[in-house]
Structure 1
Amino acid sequence: MNIFYTVLYYFQKRGFEVCRRIAERMGIRTRVVRTTFIYLTFVTLGFGFALYLFMAFWLRIKDLLYTKRTSVFDL
């Protein structure tokens, strides 16, 4: 049962970051984005979840390509 909670904690920690970043970008509450993905998943029989995974992948690639540097000496 401990492994179940470890996996659950990992997905909650990583998964909610996608919703948080989308909400910050759009200027709305994170809760609204989460519930929208949940409703979209139920209504379209999984398309919302696929969209969520695609956006998580896209944000991860963007983070890897664009790094913020604080000064010119960080090169």
Structure 2
Amino acid sequence: MNIFLKPLLYFQKHGFHVCQRIADRMGIRAKVVRTSFMYLTFVTLGFGFAVYLFIAFWMRIKDLLFTKRSSVFDL
């Protein structure tokens, strides 16, 4: 049981927060986005998970390129 619980807790703690960011952008709850990804994954046999990973990668690249600065003097 520990072999399955340890990676699960790791991904929950250090996840990409993709669903939360999409939900914030769309103005809906993150639970709805998560269940949509789950249903999409089951229906399309893994394509939803591939889309999730692509969005996570894209958000990570965007965050690295466009950093938020609080003022002009933070350059």
**TM-score under structure 1 normalisation?**
0.88
1:9 paired residue number? 9
Change (3 A) 1:60 1:4: same
Displaced runs of 4 or more, over 6 A: none
2:42 paired residue number? 42
C-alpha distance in 1 between matches for 2:73 and 2:35: 43
2:70 paired residue number? 70
1:45 counterpart SS class: coil
- Identity fraction in percent: 74
C-alpha distance in 1 between matches for 2:49 and 2:34: 11
Q: Structure 1 or 2: larger helix share?
A: 1
The unaligned stretches of length 5 or more in structure 2 are none
Equivalent residue pairs, number: 73
**TM-score under structure 2 normalisation?**
0.88
State the shift of 1:6 in Å: 3.5
Equivalences for residues 17-56 of structure 1 within 5 A: 17-56=17-56
The unaligned stretches of length 5 or more in structure 1 are none
